Amino acid sequence: MIDMIAALGVSVEIAYLDTQFLFPETIDLRDRLSRRYPTLCFVNRGNAMSPAEQERIHGPELWSREPDLCCRIRKVEPMRQLLRNADAWMTGIRRDQSSTRSSVETIVWDSSFEIVKISPLAPWSREQVYQYVRERDVPISPLHDAGYPTFGCTHCTRPVEGARPTDYSRAGRWSGTGKTECGLHTDPLTGRIGRA
Ligand code: SF4
């Protein structure tokens, strides 16, 4: 999506949420994307609360005791602030990513954040994404080649044994907890993802 937007020559903000628990490879990818697409502005909209401050308020290792609260502090509420003055947001979620995302619609009214949510890649397969990436030589994270189908925070991500870069699995996210989503895409009332 970033590559497509850059090709259009439009100026939009590419916002990301630095939870302060990101992999170094993710920060490096941001820097490589910034160099590759100098017309785009990559802006960190993460919570300024330091991990030490979070520990002082909520105790140690909140992610292992109350991951939903930790995600709310470091992802969902910062996103709510970010979207407060936005007209719409675009995300990269796709139907083939998980059973919970299998009915994602391309354009919906997101009642959680009260904003139009656009998911242009909803019908794309992971193989299609990889084909596009190869053809356009789009920078991606080396973690895909290291057995991480997806990755978020270091505390809550582990590699998935035998996973190839073209495989998609959320088994490495919050493994052993039953949690599969951080809450950015889940309607808190219906539990549905990316649907009107
Ligand atoms: S993914 Fe883990 S560490 Fe990151 S915000 Fe959620 S619970 Fe906290």
Identify the helix (H) or strand (E) that includes residue 44.
Answer: strand 41-44
Instruction: Determine phi and psi for 69, rounding to 5 degrees.
Output: -70, -45
At residue 35 the predicted structure's pLDDT band, cuts being 50, 70 and 90, is very high
The mean pLDDT value for 14-26 works out to: 96
At residue 97 the predicted structure's pLDDT band, cuts being 50, 70 and 90, is confident
**Enzyme catalytic residues:** 182
- What integer best gives the mean pLDDT of the chain? 90
- Any idea what DSSP says for residue 75? I
Let me know if domain 2-156 sits in CATH 3.20.20.80.
no
pLDDT on residue 152: 93
Exposed, middle or buried by CB within 10 Å (0-12, 13-18, 19+), for 97?
A: buried
pLDDT on residue 128: 95
Total residues found in the chain within this entry: 196
pLDDT on residue 163: 77
pLDDT tens digit sequence for 149-194: 888 999 999 888 877 777 777 777 888 788 877 878 876 555 666 5
Is the CB of residue 70 below 6 angstroms from any atom belonging to ligand 1?
A: yes
Residue 153 CA, ligand 1 centroid: distance in Å: 6
Does residue 73 have a pLDDT over 60?
yes
- Any idea what DSSP says for residue 172? T
pLDDT on residue 99: 80
Does residue 70 have a pLDDT over 90?
yes
pLDDT on residue 30: 97
Which residue's CA lies nearest to atom 5 of ligand 1? 71
Does residue 71 have a pLDDT over 90?
yes
Is the CB of residue 58 below 6 angstroms from any atom belonging to ligand 1?
A: no
The mean pLDDT value for 71-90 works out to: 94
In this predicted model, which residue has the larger pLDDT, 51 or 181?
A: 51
Best mutation site among 58, 155, 158, 174 for ligand 1, i.e. most ligand atoms within 8 A of its Cβ? Answer: 155
pLDDT on residue 191: 61
At residue 11 the predicted structure's pLDDT band, cuts being 50, 70 and 90, is confident
Structural contact between residues 38 and 31, judged by C-beta atoms closer than 8 angstroms: no
